[in-house]
Amino acid sequence: MRDVFEYALLRVIPRLERGEAINAGVILYCQPRSYLAAHCHLDTERLRALDPDADIDGVRRALHAVELVCRAAEDAGPTRHEDAGRRFRWLTAPRSTIVQPGPIHTGLTDDPDAEARRLLELLVHHPTTQRPAHR
């Protein structure tokens, strides 16, 4: 049985005035399965291409904080006491910081964790360029 899920990309925008971004994570929430998780991957080479002076450690800490909030970890602060839906809404609220959520999208899945990993691979990991074979 497939259930509705919601997801948002986590974008790193190192220089807000320029508006350039790289995708660095996916937050996925599936209410029927009480599932909330963030899967993150920071491509530091791509980030440095946008801003050679980007605070890599600061971005990593921000992404890790999102993962902690999703897991309701002890280190997540007061949000750990909120239900998964409220944590998802808090994490996906618009903000003007270096790590920002994108718009929320929806889909159907029978495995939220596999879906989150699929979205991470599709939308965050930089695809290797493969050239077609010459004939």
Domain residue ranges of the chain, discontinuous segments joined by +: 3-123
pLDDT value for 77: 78
Mean of pLDDT values over 74-81? 78
Q: Is 135 a residue whose pLDDT tops 90?
A: no
pLDDT value for 129: 41
Who wins on pLDDT, 91 or 95? 91
**Backbone phi, then psi, for 123, in 5-degree steps?**
-105, -15
pLDDT value for 130: 45
Its pTM stands at 0.88
pLDDT value for 127: 67
Neighbouring CB atoms inside 10 A of 111's CB total 14
Residue that is written with structure tokens 């280190």 in the block: 75
